[in-house]
């Protein structure tokens, strides 16, 4: 009751919070911390990070949660370390080793790694990790794995948009990868190692960008932790870092409309338009979000509304 009262008594925040997730917690753990930090239950995120991973988590608060479908479409950039010679059930360092190369197996050379990475840039078919949040018949794969089920996932079309080899050391390499939605860096480590005639898994993974959002602008883990513990100064600092919904323009096309158009869209009406085709985030003239709309064949229609009220005639 006390927590509910706290939520109800605190002014609501609507916007985007960039968080630098530390290693060892889930994306849901970050959401829980943000809920407490801003005293609002309506919090989600635009793209999961595994517990082992660190870096940018785009957290959506209040009305911003209605944009998750579109904010997850952007490309992501990761810095990662691949360890050669062994693989794990989760394809990362948090997993149990399931296979190892024989003793004395040579580590891939820098030249071989650079050639294999260069060949892999572009569209590809990728099999996601068994330990993942992908749902099969409504159940996440990681839950099925914990139950001992053996469920295979089909390959999916993804794209490695850019890749650079930062360093190659004995038994491992550091990579800088820019990838499409749905790309699993853990699967890439497995497949890269296979192309090099060995086994591999991730030992580090850091997301540094999601579309135009970067980890350089993210809230530090220590500050978020203090805010989650209800430190007033930290809570105020976190709330001040919440980006307004207009900042979604970094990832989505936006448009500003007059009151009559805003009112019509808030009622779900379809309107003629000369705007270019595609998805638009529509605001009224006071920068209040009206709806996510789609322009198709000269018609503007609502995909997701934000509600009113708008002035009546």
What would the pLDDT profile of 256-299 be if each residue is shown by its tens digit?
999 999 999 999 999 999 999 999 999 999 999 999 999 999 99
* Tokens of residue 291, six digits: 């709806």
* Tokens of residue 132, six digits: 């993942």
Per-residue pLDDT band for 72 (boundaries 50, 70, 90) equals: confident
Q: What is the pLDDT of residue 139?
A: 56
Domain residue ranges in the chain:
2-73+213-246, 76-210, 253-305
pLDDT tens figures, 152-199: 777 899 999 999 999 999 999 999 999 999 999 999 999 999 999 999
Lowest mean pLDDT among 68-82, 116-130, 141-155, 290-304: 141-155
Q: What is the pLDDT of residue 275?
A: 93
Per-residue pLDDT band for 216 (boundaries 50, 70, 90) equals: very high
Name the percent of the chain lying above pLDDT 70: 87
Q: What is the pLDDT of residue 65?
A: 94
The burial class, CB within 10 Å (0-12 / 13-18 / 19+), for 286 is exposed
Per-residue pLDDT band for 129 (boundaries 50, 70, 90) equals: confident
Q: Could you give the CA distance from residue 261 to residue 241 in angstroms, rounded to a whole number?
A: 31
Looking up tokens 């192309």 gives 195
Q: Could you give the CA distance from residue 133 to residue 307 in angstroms, rounded to a whole number?
A: 31
Q: What is the pLDDT of residue 25?
A: 95
* Tokens of residue 43, six digits: 């919090």
- Residue 41: CB atoms within 10 Å: 11
Q: What is the pLDDT of residue 6?
A: 42
pLDDT score of 134 more than 90: no
Mean pLDDT of 45-69: 94
Q: Dihedral of CA 208/212/213/215: which sign? A: positive
Q: What is the pLDDT of residue 132?
A: 61
pTM of the predicted structure, to 2 decimals: 0.88
pLDDT score of 149 more than 90: no
What is 2-73+213-246's CATH topology? Answer: Alpha-Beta Plaits (3.30.70)
pLDDT score of 312 more than 70: no
Q: Do 284 and 259 contact (CB within 8 A), yes or no?
A: yes
Q: What is the pLDDT of residue 234?
A: 97
Q: What is the pLDDT of residue 47?
A: 86
Mean pLDDT, rounded, of the chain:
89
Mean pLDDT of 221-241: 96
CATH class of 253-305: mainly beta
Lowest mean pLDDT among 35-39, 83-87, 140-144, 226-230: 140-144
pLDDT tens figures, 4-17: 444 445 568 899 99
CATH class of 76-210: alpha beta
pLDDT score of 56 more than 90: yes
Q: What is the pLDDT of residue 74?
A: 87
Q: What is the pLDDT of residue 245?
A: 92
Q: Catalytic residues, which ones?
A: 50
pLDDT score of 127 more than 80: yes
């Amino acid at each position: 009751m006390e927590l509910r009262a706290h939520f109800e008594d605190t002014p609501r925040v609507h916007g985007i919070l960039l968080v630098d997730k530390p290693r060892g917690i889930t994306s849901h753990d970050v959401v829980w911390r943000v809920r407490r930090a801003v005293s609002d239950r309506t919090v989600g995120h635009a793209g999961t990070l595994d517990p082992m991973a660190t870096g940018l988590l785009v957290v959506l608060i209040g009305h911003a949660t209605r944009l998750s479908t579109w904010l997850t479409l952007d490309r992501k950039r990761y810095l990662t370390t691949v360890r050669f010679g062994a693989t794990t059930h989760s394809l990362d360092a948090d997993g149990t080793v399931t296979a190892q190369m024989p003793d004395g197996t040579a580590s891939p050379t820098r030249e071989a790694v650079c050639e294999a990475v260069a060949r892999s840039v572009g569209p590809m078919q990728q099999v996601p990790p068994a330990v993942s949040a992908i749902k099969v018949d409504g159940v996440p794969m990681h839950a099925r794995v914990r139950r001992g089920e053996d469920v295979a996932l089909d390959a999916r079309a993804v794209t490695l948009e850019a890749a650079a080899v930062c360093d190659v050391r004995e038994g491992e390499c550091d990579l800088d990868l820019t990838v499409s939605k749905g790309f699993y860096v853990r699967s890439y480590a497995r497949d890269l190692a296979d192309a090099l005639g060995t086994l591999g898994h991730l030992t580090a993974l850091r997301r540094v960008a999601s579309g135009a959002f970067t980890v350089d602008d993210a809230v530090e883990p220590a500050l978020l932790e203090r805010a989650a513990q209800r430190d007033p100064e930290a809570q105020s600092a976190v709330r001040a870092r919440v980006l307004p919904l207009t900042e979604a323009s970094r990832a989505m096309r936006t448009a500003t409309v007059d009151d009559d158009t805003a009112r019509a869209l808030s009622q779900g009406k379809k309107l003629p338009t000369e705007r270019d085709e595609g998805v638009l985030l529509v605001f009224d003239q006071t920068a209040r979000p009206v709806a996510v709309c789609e322009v198709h064949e000269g018609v503007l229609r609502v995909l997701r509304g934000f509600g009113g009220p708008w002035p009546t005639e």
